[in-house]
Structure 1
């Protein structure tokens, strides 16, 4: 019987850490993602995102999230892609970790972003899920650089980055919604990566790199 992963190989990727299962978001996962977001992602009025999507009213939040997941799939191409990965602990949806690249064959550079519902924050999960996708990028995709960014006031996100070995890579001013934010960019390489003391388990990699032509 043909599976979804046979039709679209990115769906077959699964990353497993000691506590987490990280895999692409399926349509059947969207209600859990919406519920997690509605439970709260950040303090009111203090959005850590360049687009303040988590502050949308409930009746707008759900369709906005669904459209974003569908848009990323529709725009997934060999030279420009974003993997939106659901983060699960047992049967609980905790948040989303993304891994993206543009012109990857040439640049060998990936970028990351993420969110966690508030009840899952402060438990080291953000660090574990970032370590998982960075490990995958370096060890399986042969990436040479991983980049990320956060508002300069977002000490929690920047703390995760620095603990994993990211180095500060410049400040920029950017428009986030209707506000101007000072954004701290960070950069990681295999040499500077503070690797976790666990081994990442990966399923579905060969099918994905074949699809990407890597």
Structure 2
């Protein structure tokens, strides 16, 4: 057990699927995650993120991953939180999947974001890691709604959402990197999640995190 778990219980939160483990990384694992980002997370011809962090040079991408990880952890509290899970597959880390909310006790809504090392694309990992955090949201946290979004020219991300049962929830014009694009908003409620769930997920360490995240008992 990570010794920090006694003081920061999110280090004991773990999600397990048939192929993946999602949990907070230790320093060496966070360094490996930064290396994955430095190696590339998508084709250079597209920009899947509203903030084009992935266009930075490799060393800057790696630094940004580490900084963002600690920024997210530093903001966690009962009224606002985002958990930056590292995603482990086989012998190492392959990407990052986050889940977050504001005023969860009132809204019962979560949002999510993710990225996956480019060399791990096309293996169904993106679907499985999103399924894991949807299970955590609905079965673990007691969420009623989960939202996500993807640019309309990002068919892979949109396909993951459709496969898991999300429905379209309006669009928004955005300007990633100063270039026009359209963001497709997506939503899935508890009923749609229950009808479409197809991945077995085990959650460990959640009860110790409830006070920190302001979750119902």
**TM-score, normalized by length of structure 1?**
0.95
Q: Which runs of 4 or more aligned residues in structure 1 lie more than 6 Å from their structure 2 counterparts after TM superposition? A: none
- Secondary structure in structure 1 of the residue aligned to 2:192: coil
Is the CA contact 1:131–1:195 (under 8 Å) kept in the aligned structure 2? no
Partner in structure 2 of residue 196 of structure 1: 197
Partner in structure 2 of residue 144 of structure 1: 144
Partner in structure 1 of residue 9 of structure 2: 9
Q: Structure 1 residues 198, 127: CA separation in 2 closer, same or farther (over 3 Å shift)?
A: closer
Spell out the pairing of 1:1-214 with structure 2 (5 A cutoff): 3-193=3-193, 194-214=195-215
Alpha-carbon distance, 1:139 to partner: 0.4
User: C-alpha offsets along residues 91-117 of structure 1, whole Å, 9 cap, x if unaligned?
Assistant: 221100110101111000000111111
Return 5+ residue gaps in structure 1 as ranges: none
Is the CA contact 1:84–1:96 (under 8 Å) kept in the aligned structure 2? yes
- Secondary structure in structure 2 of the residue aligned to 1:29: helix
User: C-alpha offsets along residues 156-206 of structure 1, whole Å, 9 cap, x if unaligned?
Assistant: 100100111100000111232322221000000111124433421111100
How many angstroms apart in 1 are the aligned matches of 2:6 and 2:177? 39
* Greater alpha carbon shift after TM alignment, 197-206 vs 77-86: 197-206
How many angstroms apart in 2 are the aligned matches of 1:156 and 1:174? 19
Alpha-carbon distance, 1:78 to partner: 0.9
- Secondary structure in structure 1 of the residue aligned to 2:172: strand
Alpha-carbon distance, 1:47 to partner: 1.5
How many angstroms apart in 2 are the aligned matches of 1:2 and 1:42? 32
Return 5+ residue gaps in structure 2 as ranges: none
Alpha-carbon distance, 1:2 to partner: 8.3
- Secondary structure in structure 1 of the residue aligned to 2:191: coil
Q: Structure 1 residues 164, 2: CA separation in 2 closer, same or farther (over 3 Å shift)?
A: closer
Is the CA contact 1:96–1:116 (under 8 Å) kept in the aligned structure 2? yes
Alpha-carbon distance, 1:31 to partner: 1.4
Q: Number of matched residues? A: 214
* Greater alpha carbon shift after TM alignment, 195-204 vs 138-147: 195-204
How many angstroms apart in 1 are the aligned matches of 2:168 and 2:177? 24
